[in-house]
Each structure stands twice: as C-alpha cells, then as structure tokens.
Structure 1
Amino acid sequence: MRRFNARVMNWTHCHDSYGDTDRVPLLLEQVEAEDSAEAWDELEYRLVLEDDLVFPASFAAVPRLVRLAPRSARARHLVGAILRRAAGHHGCDDLLAHCSDAIAEFRQLLDQHLQSRPTDYLVTFVDALAAKEEYHWSAVLGNFVDDFYHLACPHCSVDVTIAMGDHGRYSAIRDWTLGDVDRRALRPASSEALRGTGRWMHETAVRDGHEDLADGIAYLFGQAECPRCASVFYVADEYTSANRPVLQ
C-alpha cells in the first residue's frame, strides 16, 4: 500500500463554504485529537453543501480525513460525500490529483468495510464507486426496492420508463393517468456476460452476500424491450449515455 503525507498542504487558497481558509485545518486538528461531534458537524457543513457543492478545502482535507477513516465512520462518510461530488464544476482538478494516493488507500479501506457486511452497506458501496471514479453510478444507484430509470429508446426515441423494484422489473410507457402501460419484462445479464463496472458491482455484491443488490445490478446491466417499436437495448448503456456527468 502506498503511503502519503496527509499534512503537506498549503491552505492559503483553500477556502471552504464560508470563504474561510483557516477554519478547516483547525477543525481537522480537533477531530484528530478527539472525536468531537460539534467539530465534525462544523466540518461537514464547511466542506459539503446539500446542493452538491464542494470547495478547495474539501479536497485539501481528504488525505487527513482518510487517515481518520479506519476508526471514524464520520470521516469515512465525509470523504465519500466529497468524492461523490468530484464530477461537478468545482475547478479543483489539481487538488483532486493531489489526493490520488489517499483515494487509492480509501478504496482499499472501503473494500474491507464492505466485506464486513456493515449496516451502511449501500452507502459504502456507492462511495466505493465514487472512489473508483464511477461518479455516474455512484449518483444514481439505488437499492432496487422502488427504483425507476427514465431514458429514450435509441431506435424510436420514445420515452421509456425502466422499473426495478418490488413492483416489478419491466420497461413501459408512462401514462400520467393510467400509470405504466404496455409493460415488457426486463432481461437480466448473466454473470458471465457482465464486463467492466457492471462486473465489479455484481461480483462485489455477491461476494458480500447481498444477493438482492446483485440481482438488481444484473437487471440494470441487462436488456430492455421498447414497448413502442419492440427493439432491444442495454439499459445501462442507454442510461449512462444520457446521464453521465461531464468531467471538468
């Protein structure tokens, strides 16, 4: 495992959500010395805003937060929240690059945590996706209990609703009066057919005993039939092409 120096950082231009450059380093020192709930609360609202905003101080704090993550769930969740926003318009590419070693260590930490089958499994799973730079799936992946994905058929361009949950797993045309009409059953991908991110997601969920999540992923990376033109397409490919964020 590569090691990194978590304290080498020039904070002069690393402002937080308040525009301050000196408060976050002090708060980091405080949580490193003691697990202060008050300090953690302030760190969170200085580093991450609910409308997906992050700041130079957010990325500057990542290496030191990763150091705390093995013993602090709040540190782990805060790093995950920052990384899930890394595809946004933050203008901090140089600071993100500075975190590369820390993020690599964070990926290993998350993988170990996933294997412990924690109660925060899905949160950790999407954080791991963000740490792998799979920002799109980190942002949209649900628990397949009541999930809907909306996309256009690649052949006839009709709007198609993809449903995956306790209500069924199907493609349909959504009618706001009648509901989902002309349903067509989805076709899950076999484990052997999965590649890339889909394969990693499925194998990880299977490894950790989360069969419902693995089953949903197989459908997400499987095929759907357009209710209008009857053409068949891959759900993940079409949804990704329509929704993947553009890195800045």
Structure 2
Amino acid sequence: MHDCYGDVDRVPELLERVEREDDAEAWKELGYRLCLEGGLVFAASFAALPQLVRLASSDPRARALAGRILRRAAGHHGCDDLLADRAGTIAEVRVLLDLYLRSRPDDYLAAFLDLLAVNAQYHWSAALGDFTDDFYHLACPHCGAEVTIAIGDYERYSAIRDWNLGDVERRDLRPASPGKLSRTGRRMHDTAVRDGQQVLAAGIRCLLGRAECPRCASVFGIADEYMSAECPTSW
C-alpha cells in the first residue's frame, strides 16, 4: 500500500504516532503522503481511512483528512477495488461529516464539499463555491452564445461577457423552487437550510434554477448545461 513517495511503511508509523500523542508534524506529513496538493491520492490513502475514522472522534484533523481523500476519489488513482472495499468506512465518514455540519463550524463549506464527495457528487464537490462572487461559464443550448452566470452577494444574473465593458445584456436568474429540486439538489439545499447557511442555500437554488440567454432569449437549466460542458461523457 504505497503512498505518494512509493513508501509502504511510513504511513503506518505516522498513524501510530498521531494515535499515541498530539503530533502536529506527523499530521502534516500524513497530509502530504496521503493527499497531494494537486489532488492525487494513492493506495495508502484509502487503506488509512478506517484508522482515520477511528481517530476522528478525538481529533478533527483525522476527519478533515478523510474528507480530502474522498473528495479526490473520482481521480485516476488505480485503486477502485480498494475504494469499493471501504464502503462501510465511507458510510461512517458520511455520518461524521453530517454531525460536524450540524455544529455550524467556521470551515462549513469545506466539510459540505467533502460530504458531497462522500455521496459521490464529485462534480459539485469540485465546482461549488460559497456564492459570494461566483461565475459559471457555459454555452446557450439553443444559439451557442457564451453565457456567463453570476451568483454573488449582490447580483445574480446571466450575461454576455465583454472584456472591455464587463458583463452586458444582463438577465435576472430564475431560482429553482425548493419543492421542485431533484433528489441530489434537495439534499444539498435542505442540508444548508438545516444548518442556517442561507447564502449557500440561496446560491444552490440559483445554480439549480434557470437562466435566460441574453442573445436569443431562450430559457435553460443552468446546472444541466454546466454539467454537460464540464463532465466528460465517460463519467
């Protein structure tokens, strides 16, 4: 079970160290070896999940590291069989993350994205922002115009981006009704509402709602077109 350096014995040693004592340097090295900054994970990453879950009740760093590993589980790591064997552990991570979100922590969005990944919503785990100043770019499905979708604190619109004039020909977005969200969308929205994350909930309604193309005036689903453009067909 190799880590990012190809070692097979270092991760078990580090896990033993952090279980015995509060060792900040060991946690830092574990993070490097199990989840590279560029998003790569390894066999040792998934092999370490059960012990990380056991440690999570007493050390939040274990929960955070487990979440980061699972957020990258859709990548090209060659460990799909090992990941499948961790189904029970992944279910435990889901419970841990849900309980953590209920506490309304300062790093709420990071844990929310981890939970999306645990639920196999890898695309939204990677694409979702905090909706304070987020932009999504897609093509109108009817006329092919490049449309910018803005979801921020002050403005939520579709527009044509002009590099000299900024976003022009703006049209207000049409947020989705909570009752009409898909199963995944409703879970995302209801979790944010439950935890008092009103900005996040409102942003999700906009992202899963509809937009008007400023060029041809057709109306389309934002999430459908964005996912169609961003997700490879092999997914």
- Which structure 1 residue ranges, 4+ long, deviate > 4 Å from structure 2? 245-248
CA distance in 2, matches of 1:27, 1:34: 11
Q: 2:72 aligns with which of 85, 99, 106?
A: 85
Q: Which runs of 5+ in 1 are unaligned?
A: 1-13
- 1:135 correspondence with 2:114: no
Alpha-carbon RMSD: 1.3
CA distance in 2, matches of 1:114, 1:225: 34
Which residue is 1:115 aligned to?
Answer: 102
Alignment of 1:191-206 (within 5 A): 191-206=178-193
Provide the identity percentage: 68
SS in 1 for 2:6: coil
Kindly tell me: are residues 106 and 247 of structure 1, through their superposed partners in 2, closer, same or farther at Cα, counting changes over 3 Å?
farther
Question: How many residues in Structure 1 have an aligned counterpart in Structure 2?
Answer: 235
Which residue is 1:124 aligned to?
Answer: 111
Amino acid at match of 1:169: R
SS in 1 for 2:179: coil
Alignment of 1:151-170 (within 5 A): 151-170=138-157
CA deviations on 1:113-151 (whole Å, 9 max, x unpaired) are 111111111111111001101000011111100100111
- 1:37 correspondence with 2:11: no
Kindly tell me: are residues 245 and 21 of structure 1, through their superposed partners in 2, closer, same or farther at Cα, counting changes over 3 Å?
farther
For the 8 Å contact 1:150–1:159, the answer to whether it is kept is yes
TM-score, structure 2 as length reference:
0.96
CA deviations on 1:84-126 (whole Å, 9 max, x unpaired) are 1111111110111121100101101111111111111111111
Residue 16 of structure 1, CA deviation: 0.7
CA deviations on 1:176-219 (whole Å, 9 max, x unpaired) are 11111111110001111111211001111111111111111110
Which residue is 1:11 aligned to?
Answer: none
Amino acid at match of 1:120: D
Alignment of 1:48-127 (within 5 A): 48-127=35-114
CA distance in 2, matches of 1:209, 1:94: 38
Kindly tell me: are residues 245 and 50 of structure 1, through their superposed partners in 2, closer, same or farther at Cα, counting changes over 3 Å?
farther
Q: Which runs of 5+ in 2 are unaligned?
A: none
For the 8 Å contact 1:17–1:46, the answer to whether it is kept is yes
RCO higher in structure (CA 8 A, sep ≥6): 1
For the 8 Å contact 1:87–1:246, the answer to whether it is kept is no
For the 8 Å contact 1:87–1:247, the answer to whether it is kept is no
CA distance in 2, matches of 1:186, 1:71: 44
Which residue is 1:176 aligned to?
Answer: 163
CA distance in 2, matches of 1:131, 1:54: 15
TM-score, structure 1 as length reference:
0.91
CA distance in 2, matches of 1:94, 1:35: 33
CA deviations on 1:138-179 (whole Å, 9 max, x unpaired) are 111111001001111111121111000024100111111111
